[in-house]
Structure 1
């Protein structure tokens, strides 16, 4: 009778998979012995496997290159990394090894660009696509970057006032793009994205503010939908509407030569995940070419802004199961030594699911459980997998420690969770390590940040100042006496 955890996984999924395998009852991720990692660094533990960033960038480049060659498409492809997915320097350093470009979304992003440019990681021919609603500091920083010679900076216009604001601070002529305010899916509470300019208003906007403006040149139309790139009627309908705007604009604007289709490639959230990336890229290129041919306009250069796809599958988290609570005749709670709200906030905020697997004890029998975090918040839990309304893990045994891993957590979790700051119930941020490989494919690990300490949190909360004041007062009294 197949009652072991490894039997459950083998029966439910096609396993092992490219990044996962099991040896002697222990899980390996991209060839990394996760139990060895846990013994060396402890748990809870967060890690970033840097080579996966380059792997995913180059996968996407191959798909687009293949489709461009297949359809004899005359435009170029440019891969941009969406920095808001993870601003960390180790992420940008790895991504920029692969001849890519950058998409920014706020004022301080430009400071990061300038820092990387000073190091030679970003060059003058690197495109900097500046999205988002632009407040005064963002305008100033974009202008500074362009005025200092980075002419491949393309601010994407989000509202009707931004051209004037940029023109006031940028010296000489500059390029720009326009973002389309796409229509949202019917299930949304609103009909149109708050970002960008409506479909019907873009051509009039061009005629009124750009066509006769000698200081600006329109180069790019930007298209993105909130649900990302999916093979469904909604996505294809919105793409075709975008292409109609592009072709209409191209006929009256010769300088327009680029279409930015944004980001939104999904990442694996279950061992049962399936998505035909190559087909989607192939069909996108095909649809763009067909529409342009029908309208007799030159095909655009293609830009994408992949964030989660770039960095998401590089991240992971490992927790130890501390204790099991039997709350009633059906529910068993395995309590982890950290918090989902603080370390994987998307599980709490948007009910996001990640790949969840036991790290050890794969040869043991399994049971159905719920996972609970350490905070006193009733929402600090993880109760189901993407493929089923349950979690199954090796049976709890207080004499046999159990470790669980969450994978493909590399996008957004640190920034949404407030890396380095206060956490709910003052649960400390875990130790975070970086994993790389040398030229001989040997693993190299290093500590990026240690687990937060009590004094780190007390300093943020202002108690350190109070402690110093008390010490100073004691010293004054001692001198007085």
Structure 2
């Protein structure tokens, strides 16, 4: 009988895969010995595999290069990293090795940009696209960046007041973009995005506030939808509406020459993941070119803002199964030595799934289980894997420690979870390890942050620890 955990994976998925291989009874991720990480640093443990960031950036650049050449597209492609996915210095340092640009969403992002400029990571030639609702500090910081000579900073207008606010603070001419308030997929609770300006209002807005304003040049139209870039009737319909607005705007605004199609490339969330990136890029480029040719306007330069796609597949988390609770005749709860709510908050907040695999004991028999976190919250659990509708892991044995890994967790989880701050039920933040390769291709590891201890928690809470 095929009762081993390795048999289950072989029967369910194509395995091994590019990033996942098996060494005896233990899992490797990009040839990283995960059990060696556990032996060296312990668990729970979070890690970031930095080379994957550069790898994904260059994959996307390659897809767009191929599509532009195939369709003889007469404009450029510009890859922007959406910093809100992960603001950490090690992430930005790795991403910026690859001749990319930056998209920001809040005031402190500009302080990060200024720090990166000071260290030589970016220059005045780097595009800085400033999205988001702009409060006073964000306006002030954007204006300072432009006034200090960064003319490739483009505020993306989100509401009708921002032009006046920016013009009061910026010396001389500056460029802007306009964000389209896209119509959401029917399953959403609301019809139109709260971000940006409605389709029908964009040309009137340009005519009223920008056309005769000698200080402002409209450079870019920005388009983004929450569901991301998917081969659905909804996506193609929204892209088509966006292109109609671009053409209408281009005919009255000669300075408009760029289209930002936002982000939304999906990342691998299952071993059964299947997405034809090259096909989607070629279709997008083809649709833009055909629509512009029919309207007899020049094709725009293309900008994208990939956040999760840039950094998501670089991250992972490893937990130890501490204990098994048999709560009834059907449900076995494997309790991990951390919390899903605090370390992988998207599993709790939006029921997001990540690639989940046992790290060791692949030759042991498997069983069906539920996974529970340490907090006293009934929602602190992870109960199913996509495409299998259940979690199967090697059988729990107290004398044989079991470690499990969650992979492709590198986007949003640390910032949403409040990295370095208070955690629900005061569950400590795990250790975080940076993994890289040296010039010889050998794997190197570095401790980025220690697991929180009681002093960290009590300091945040304001308790006197002088005694």
Could you say what secondary structure the match of 1:47 adopts?
Answer: strand
What's the offset of the Cα at 1:439? Answer: 1.2
After the TM superposition, which residues 162-173 of structure 1 pair with which residues of structure 2 at under 5 Å, given as runs? Answer: 162-173=162-173
Could you say what secondary structure the match of 1:411 adopts?
Answer: coil
1:103 aligns with 2:103: yes
What's the offset of the Cα at 1:177? Answer: 0.2
In structure 1, the partner of 2:425 is: 425
Deviation string 1:390-413 (CA, Å, 9 cap, x unpaired) is 100000011100000000000000
**What's the C-alpha RMSD, in Å, of the aligned pairs?**
0.5
1:84 and 1:242 mapped to 2: Cα distance? 24
Could you say what secondary structure the match of 2:302 adopts?
Answer: strand
What's the offset of the Cα at 1:133? Answer: 0.3
Greater Rg by CA: 1
In structure 1, the partner of 2:244 is: 244
What's the offset of the Cα at 1:387? Answer: 1.2
In structure 2, the partner of 1:399 is: 399
1:362 aligns with 2:356: no
After the TM superposition, which residues 207-222 of structure 1 pair with which residues of structure 2 at under 5 Å, given as runs? Answer: 207-222=207-222
1:329 and 1:273 mapped to 2: Cα distance? 33
In structure 1, the partner of 2:434 is: 434
In structure 1, the partner of 2:227 is: 227
In structure 2, the partner of 1:479 is: none
1:196 aligns with 2:196: yes
In structure 2, the partner of 1:268 is: 268
2:122 and 2:294 mapped to 1: Cα distance? 38
In structure 1, the partner of 2:23 is: 23
1:299 and 1:195 mapped to 2: Cα distance? 25
What's the offset of the Cα at 1:389? Answer: 1.6
2:416 and 2:171 mapped to 1: Cα distance? 36
After the TM superposition, which residues 107-118 of structure 1 pair with which residues of structure 2 at under 5 Å, given as runs? Answer: 107-118=107-118
In structure 1, the partner of 2:374 is: 374
In structure 1, the partner of 2:258 is: 258
Moved runs in structure 1, 4+ residues, more than 3 A? none
1:192 and 1:227 mapped to 2: Cα distance? 13
2:427 and 2:124 mapped to 1: Cα distance? 43
Question: Structure 1 unaligned runs (5+)?
Answer: 472-481
In structure 1, the partner of 2:179 is: 179
1:23 and 1:158 mapped to 2: Cα distance? 51
In structure 2, the partner of 1:476 is: none
Deviation string 1:351-386 (CA, Å, 9 cap, x unpaired) is 000000000000001000000000000000000001
What's the offset of the Cα at 1:388? Answer: 2.1
In structure 2, the partner of 1:79 is: 79
2:226 and 2:320 mapped to 1: Cα distance? 35
Deviation string 1:79-126 (CA, Å, 9 cap, x unpaired) is 000000000000000000000000000000000000000000011100
1:24 and 1:209 mapped to 2: Cα distance? 66
In structure 2, the partner of 1:132 is: 132
TM-score in terms of structure 2 length: 1.00
What's the offset of the Cα at 1:58? Answer: 0.1
1:36 and 1:173 mapped to 2: Cα distance? 56
1:35 aligns with 2:35: yes
In structure 2, the partner of 1:149 is: 149
1:387 and 1:110 mapped to 2: Cα distance? 41
In structure 1, the partner of 2:331 is: 331
Deviation string 1:162-214 (CA, Å, 9 cap, x unpaired) is 00000000000000000000000111111000000000000000101111000
Could you say what secondary structure the match of 1:183 adopts?
Answer: coil
Question: Structure 2 unaligned runs (5+)?
Answer: none
Could you say what secondary structure the match of 2:360 adopts?
Answer: coil
1:369 and 1:2 mapped to 2: Cα distance? 18
Could you say what secondary structure the match of 2:256 adopts?
Answer: coil
Could you say what secondary structure the match of 1:463 adopts?
Answer: coil
In structure 2, the partner of 1:411 is: 411
In structure 2, the partner of 1:122 is: 122
1:97 and 1:187 mapped to 2: Cα distance? 39
Deviation string 1:309-352 (CA, Å, 9 cap, x unpaired) is 00000000000000000000000000000000000000000000
In structure 2, the partner of 1:390 is: 390
In structure 2, the partner of 1:322 is: 322
In structure 2, the partner of 1:475 is: none
Could you say what secondary structure the match of 1:353 adopts?
Answer: coil
In structure 2, the partner of 1:69 is: 69
Deviation string 1:251-285 (CA, Å, 9 cap, x unpaired) is 11110000000000000000000110110000000
2:195 and 2:276 mapped to 1: Cα distance? 29
1:173 and 1:344 mapped to 2: Cα distance? 44
In structure 2, the partner of 1:474 is: none
Could you say what secondary structure the match of 2:273 adopts?
Answer: coil
